[in-house]
Amino acid sequence: MNDSMKHVDEMTCLLYVERQLDRGRAQEVSLHTQSCAECRTLLRALERESRLLTRAMLEEEEALPARLAEFHERARRSLQWIWGAAFGLAAMALYALYTGYIEPWQQQFEQAGFGGSSLLSLLIFQGAFWKGWQSMFSFIEILAVVTLAGFVAVFLRKRLRGSSAVAMVLASLCAVLALAAPASAATEFRKGESTEIAKGEVIKGDIFLSGARVRIDGTVEGDVFAFCQSLEVNGHVTGDVIVFAKNARINGQVDGNVRSFTNTITIGGTVGKNALSFGENISVDSSGKIAGSLTSFSESLGIDGKIGRDVLAFFGRANIAGAVAGAMKAKGEVLTISAGAQVDGPIHFDGERPPEVSPQAKLASPVEFKQMEHERRRESSAGFIVWKVIWTAAVLLFGLVLFSLMPKFAQESVASAEQYGAALGLGILVFFGVFIASLIACVTIVGLPLGIASLALWCTVVFSAQIVVGTLAGQWILGRSSELGPLLGRMAMGLVIVRVAVLALGHVSVIGFLFHAGILIWGVGAISLALYRRLQPVIAPNVPSASMGTPIPPNTTVGGVQPA
Amino acid sequence: MSAPGKTEPTQAIARARAGDAEAWGELYREFAPAIFRFCRRALPTREDAEDATMEIFMKLRDKLGQYDQTRSFTAWLYKVAANHCWDMLRRRKIRQDKETEDVDSVPLEHPDPSQLDRLIEQRTSEEVRRALDKLGARARMALAMRYYSDMSYDEIAEALGVRRAFVGVVLLRARHELRQAMGERGALAAGGAP
């Protein structure tokens, strides 16, 4: 033991060999090694190790790769150009999406009386809905906001310091809430199996009503927010009516707007401003009158009453037998304009077959009919191909962002996709289950914010599904890789193959559909599986692991694993 | 510090600095194999090494005007290469894998010299290279800087962003990792195969 205490430690020996010791210490080591054979052996071993390392490193066992034989600046630049093009295409896709879909919709919504507010702000942050949130005081809504904030924080954490990201998200939330807050005023809440505002009763201010059956026979001098199975308005509402219900019927007078998310809504009374409806069946009775415009998204639409301004409608089938003072823009399968109908503005109809127009109908101009393009015909056009290329570039870019932001999770998702049974099974569950649950959350009292957040998450996962499957396909072809660069290459290659296959098989209707659905479900399942595993508790550290090999004693250099 | 087997091509450097593309081509052809091998030792895959070599030379060409001609060109070249490789690893977070466990657990006690001697004697260069692939990013990077490009402790400290006094610890720890990797290989070779 005494001997070993006198030995020079390995660190000092290494520094001696590397000529990093000061003169005095080096002399001490030198003197010691003259009399200590063991330390001398150690010095010699360390020197030999240095030589072995240098030799191993300097040996030219690999030729310079052909692509490095000359300085290829152009190749590098061209790669940058490709990424530039991909970004450009993605930007084009976004612009086309905006100008093609969002902007026209926005204009229509503005026409429908929503002013300058965007759909998002209308649905989530506008003052009227903020009051709705207050009415529920539900933990779920808060959770939804926190979840959204969490997503933003996770997204930003790579770009900003943690504290900055949190501060930014909190500041944004505060700003949003501060903007929304002034909307609250004197507000009343009523709950119950059957909730009623009796005839002769006057409510001054806004009111929130919930229950199985809600009935308004009296007067509300403010807005009405109803969350129920059935709503009946027979009285007078001076503000807006916003309703989430299975069935709604407006027989009385609403001076403001009607905005409904219902299975069936019937307007038999008077609406002073505009109506916006999402539902299966929407009808304006012959006694019904909407002073402003009607915007509807439904399976079945019937207009027997009067519309003061324009109609924007998306439907399965529609029957117009009433009067429309403005223009009409419609998209759907079947449009019938009956004998009693009167439309004072132009009518545009995009449909599968020409509208059935009664000769007795009074129309300002003939219906401008546009046959909805059949899928097959579009597929052969150059524009369709260009769109597909643009979308592929957009998905590619999205994949690049995802892989860069969450490389480990992306790899786990790709690995999960190889468990075909589990991924497909879970995929079916999540693909249908989460979608349906989100819709239910949107239209019921559970909460619109939670529904929208879930739906957004679902859409993101579905959109990412093909990236996961594409990466796996790329790995099948080019082999596995855990590095980010090669993985991105595999993702790009596989994604292009998957999208080409989807496009090619799309011509064979059933097989193409099944293939596409299978890809999406598989990918969704893989992502869900990876997510599920992430959420599992970590195994306790004292649980023995099968992968642990023979440990090497910490203070030995060679350990007990010397070859025989 | 001297680059492995290279002399300073002073004239070519001067011409390349003046914008002579041919001179730059000469420099590239002369140094690209060495830089590629350095990247091959420092980075985990061949593809990474190829990409890094290309990027390093693009960087070198842009920075050639900043090169101080009174100092060694090869030293400057390896410094740029080391910084680039280390940045690349940092960006990918690969090097974090081992960093936390490196620092405090370095055994400084006296090893068994004869056992170490035997281990080194039995290993070939190829086995060492294979074992290098198993090391953590910092260990491999440190060994490549020291034993391939012969960088000084000061230069290694600067490249890795550690104190100079800590470089010896990093190198010793790297050697320990390497011995362990070589020992495992030896054990497998000796008794692993049926």
Partner A, chain B 50-89, Cβ-Cβ below 8 Å = 50-51, 53-55, 57-58, 61
- Contact assignment for B183 to A44 by CB distance below 8 Å: no
pLDDT tens digit sequence for B78-110 = 999 999 999 888 877 654 544 444 444 555 556
How confident is the model over B143-175, as pLDDT tens digits?
999 999 999 999 999 998 889 988 999 999 899
- The verdict on a CB contact (< 8 Å) between B148 and A62 is no
Beta-carbon separation of B168 and A485 below 8 A: no
- In the prediction, which pLDDT does A146 show? 54
The residue of chain B with its CA nearest to that of A52 is B125
Chain A hits for B61, CB-CB cut-off 8 Å, are 73
pLDDT tens string A296-326: 888 889 999 999 988 999 888 899 999 999 8
Find tokens 């657990």 and name the residue. Answer: B105
First-to-last alpha carbon distance for chain B, in angstroms, is 47
pLDDT, one tens digit per residue, over A394-442 is 888 888 888 877 877 888 888 888 887 888 888 888 888 888 887 777 6
Lowest mean pLDDT among A29-33, A180-184, B31-35, B114-118: A180-184
Chain A environment of B41 (Cβ under 8 Å): 57
**Strand pairing partners for A330?**
A313, A349
**Rounded mean pLDDT, A1-25:** 80
Half-sphere exposure in the Cβ direction for A4 (13 Å, CA) = 7
pLDDT at B16: 86
Residue in B with minimal Cα distance to A554:
B107
Please report the pLDDT score of residue B183 as a whole number. Answer: 77
Tell me if B107 and A71 make a contact (CB, 8 A cut-off).
no
Given a cut of 50, whether residue B141 has pLDDT beyond it is yes
Does B161 contact chain A (CB < 8 Å)? no
Kind of pairing between the strands at A289-290 and A306-307 = parallel
**CB count, 10 Å around CB of A372?**
13
Say what the pLDDT of residue A550 is: 34
Orientation angle between helical segments A448-478 and A407-417, nearest 10 degrees:
70
Q: Report the pLDDT value the prediction gives residue A555, as an integer from 0 to 100.
A: 35
Please say whether the beta carbons of A198 and A214 come within 8 A: no
What is the distance in angstroms between the Cα of A397 and the nearest Cα belonging to chain B?
19
Q: How close B183 comes to chain A (CA, Å)?
A: 6
Interface of B with A in 112-151 (CB under 8 A): 112-123, 125-126, 128-129, 132, 143-144, 147-148
Give the gyration radius of chain B's Cα atoms.
18
CA distance A545 to A249: 65
Amino acid A250: pLDDT:
93
Q: Could you tell me which chain A residue has the CA closest to the CA of B24?
A: A71
B142: pLDDT strictly greater than 90: yes
Place A378 in a pLDDT band, splitting at 50, 70 and 90.
low
Integer angstrom CA distances of residue A249 from A186, A266, A306, B48: 26, 5, 16, 67
Mean pLDDT of chain B: 80
Whole-number Å distance between alpha carbons of A110 and A350? 21
Run of H or E residues at A136: helix A127-136
Give the confidence band of A118 by pLDDT, cuts at 50, 70, 90: very low
pLDDT at B185: 54
> With 80 as the cut, is the pLDDT of residue A199 above it?
yes
Task: Write out the two tokens for A340.
Answer: 């009693």
Mean pLDDT across A472-495: 80
- pTM of this prediction? 0.40
- Long-range (24+ apart) CB contacts under 8 A made by A287-296 are A288/A250, A288/A322, A290/A258, A292/A112, A292/A113, A292/A257, A293/A111, A293/A112, A293/A113, A293/A326, A294/A112, A295/A108, A295/A109, A295/A112
Whether residues A62 and B58 touch (CB distance < 8 A) is answered with no
Structure tokens at B188: 């497998």
Residue A370 has pLDDT above 90, yes or no: no
B19 residue type, one letter: G
pLDDT at A98 over 70: no
Sheet (strand A323-324) strand order: A202-204, A219-221, A236-237, A253-254, A270-271, A289-290, A306-307, A323-324, A342-343, A362-363
Rounded Cα distance, B57 and B61, in Å: 6
Best to test chain B binding among A57, A61, A555 (most B CBs inside 10 Å): A57
In A403-419, which positions are buried (b, 16+ CB within 10 angstroms) versus exposed (e)? beebbeebbbbbbbbee
Is residue B95 less than 8 Å (CB to CB) from chain A? no
- Comparing CB atoms, the residue among A45, A59, A549 nearest residue B116 is A45
Tell whether the model's pLDDT for residue A384 goes beyond 80. no
Q: For residue A50, what is the nearest residue in chain B, using CA coordinates?
A: B147
Quote the tokens at residue A197: 């505002």
Q: Which of A20, A39, A54 lies at the smallest CB-CB distance from B168?
A: A20
Model confidence at A77: pLDDT above 80: no
The mean-pLDDT minimum among A91-105, A156-170, A355-369, B89-103 falls in A156-170
